[in-house]
Amino acid sequence: DQLAWQRFSLVFGPVLYVWVRQGGIPERDAPDVVQAVSQSVFQSLPRFRKERPGERFRDWLWTIAKRRMCDYFRSRQHLQL
């Protein structure tokens, strides 16, 4: 649903940007990492289940963001070898 993704981007885009910058991603690469997180969310959203007690979307989103940041740093390490 296009409207839902526009809303997601509007609400969570700035949050993701702050997270990736605080995670050490350079300003020039932050939009790419935010996009990678958004793509992962899109692919994984059907598996998100809020039925589990205490599970929150924001926590799930943070987990995905951390993984994409790790991917970013891993790819940079490989380039420096």
Task: State residue 69's pLDDT score.
Answer: 97
Per residue in 34-43, pLDDT (tens digit) is 999 999 999 9
Tell me the mean pLDDT in the region 4-26. Answer: 96
Give the closest residue to 33 by CA, choosing from 46, 16, 10. Answer: 16
Q: Is the pLDDT of residue 79 over 70?
A: no
Write phi, then psi, for 18 (nearest 5 degrees). Answer: -60, -45
Sign of the four-CA dihedral 1, 29, 74, 66: negative
d(CA 15, CA 34): 9
Residue 65 tokens, joined: 């963001």
The CA-CA-CA angle for residues 54, 66, 73, to 5°, reads: 170
